[in-house]
Structure 1
Amino acid sequence: MLALSLILGGLAGGAVAQDPPKGTFPATPLAQKHFAYPTGIPYKVDTEDNLIRGAQTGFNICNSTTENQKSLCQTSFVNSADDFCLWAPIDPGSVVGDIEGEMVAWCTKPGHGTRLIPKDTLKGVQFMRTPDYVQVIGFIDQTKINLKSDDFGGEMDPHGADLRGNPLGGLVYSNAWSGGNANQYTQVIEWHNFIGSNAFCIKVCDPSKPNAAHFCEHIYDRIGCAYNAPNNAQNGIFESCEGENQDFPGVYVENGVTMTYTQPPESLGPISTMPYVARVPASSNCVKHSSETLFAALASVTAPGDAKPTSSPAAPTSGAPAGSGSSSSGSAKPTSSGSSTGTAAGAGSTGNSAGALMVSGTATVFGVIFSALFLS
């Protein structure tokens, strides 16, 4: 297990932590830092490089001068089916659990000052708008955004065991609640992004609603999208839907009684069974799209290794040069995408076939077992 996880005694997994050494936590947690977009954002959100995980790898002032395939921009967006970003590695062949604190933003549209997701990366996407959050579920070729092909993945969120976030200093914004004004962005305080096993889910919760922290829970990092963002996404299908709210992650009803699941600490070994299957929220008004139309801006974007990059790492014109940080994140966190049944995509297999992934309840359990395999 990585150094920070050892120091914090499995805090993220629910174990009773030992008292951490001084200098572990920032003066202000990332989730309590608020910045108006775009004028109120500092060059780096996390400036406390004297803490255990060191300095923030990238930067937060992102614009046309930083937009290229080596950008270290760590300001991300989730707006619509054709305009969203994922947290992904800086360098090819990475494993989420090793570098979740250093992820950078990869987006589907230019204009955000980030890297762009290469063509043919996205294999299926469902955008869902609900009363309290919007989310994107998808199927991907994760090697095109620098993940190892066999990486089961992990979770990014604005908390982390040391409250500095994964990635450190990562900001997320959305115009989903702007009343149609595409240029009006709200900072998302609560969000989570699982990625791995060639699938992903990213959910951003409306900060004006009282249950944002519950819908975008961050304590169930070992059970993936099937439990944190249950859905009806299908491989090969690109669509936008409206839907009802899910149950809070970890909350379920058994024999008429509302129960709350407690994720066991990693020290107890793999999670081999689950006491419930997450309810998939009802969806409606789904509109199918052509991937070529949705992601037309990505047509000329090549993946690392497909072509030699011609640009060098960029930083904002007003900031210091961007450098690459060292590997320094907490423990790896599993991921599994929703499928047509809302169960874990990739359960029992790291590949995704065309069409819906029909996964049985038994296979969902195997998906949880696989989740435990990359808890280092």
Structure 2
Amino acid sequence: MTAWDLAVVGAGPAGAATAIGALRVDPSLRVALIDRAEFPRDKSCGDGIAPQVIDLLEGAGVTGIVEDQVPVPRLRLDRGSFGVDRRMARPTWVIPRTTFDQRLLEAAQEAGATLLRHRVRELVLTSSITLDGQLEARTVVGADGAHSTVRRALGIGPGPMAVAIRGYSPTAPDRSNAQVIVFDTARQPAYAWSFDRGDGLSNVGYGELLDHRHDGPTKAQMMERLDTLLPGATDGGTGWKGHQLPLSAGRWRPPAGRVMLAGDAAGLVNPMTGEGIYYAVATGLAAGRAAAEALAADDPATAGARYARTTRRLLAGHLRHVAAAAWLCRHGAVIDAGLRASAADQRVFDDLVELGLARGRITPTMARGLVRELAGATWDRRRARHRNDIEETSACES
């Protein structure tokens, strides 16, 4: 049986970041990155990479991730007949996961991690941790996605889910050089997107919250909503893939002990936007550092507690705020108010982007903008009703 200091199940962004985080603390650690897939491999995703992700990686010594990629400076948000189109404070990138994940994996291998192709089916926790009777590890991080084997082994059930479909289509002229999101008016919360890769193709897709009381939408239904919201988006499209997204809640409590969860396996996907790469890299780096520090103290059982302390400082406040924002976004009037406030004030727009792509919060500026626009919309409706009442009264009198 092969023994490792740290076994990371899943070699995507969360897993590779975990290995990098651990080896950054102690390059001598024996770290296994375990994945059933052969890399490079495709992964269903919106492919949007926020600049805050690059900040985290560069802080861990990883460079070159966005080399030869085209920055995307603008974000357009539409709902019905109204929308806002602004330049973001910092550009984002749209990098296919085939490229992004491979570059991050190579960085982990260069740091000293060993990639093993294997599908983990069972964890046994005794004085050490055994994976499928073949691998033994002092600490383990589950970074194995929405349907995590490691999470199930810990007895942790899944939380709320969304479902999405993604493909690659020729970039429409009116959607070039931008990330475009169109909120659905028939279903809430739901939206379609078109993210320009900068090479003539765009990542296009549609996603919506799953209702546990009903079956989720079919592929045909999602494709229909995508074409309704973004006419022509599916024309010439290829590589269609569906996937589920485990959405974060307002409170997240990482388990204690020698086994940790990161990224999608931890149920960390932004419930307002569906963004998960920032959480994956942030929690992966934190889990790796926690494992390395616990091993250095010769007390691997403290890894989970160390990880919980770090991630509490990093994400606790943000998760509460984004959960509140996601609940508000179930109401079309709030989305409309947010778009109007963002169109009126660049600061509101920037705060909204930070909340949706990284670890921002509902700022006073954003709250004031929402309240102002909601109050204005209420006043407009009252005036319209009053005017209609007067017209009806006049018509009756005459």
Relative to the length of structure 1, the TM-score reads 0.26
- The structure in which a higher percent of residues are helix is 2
- State the structure with more CA Rg: 2
- The structure in which a higher percent of residues are strand is 2
Relative to the length of structure 2, the TM-score reads 0.25
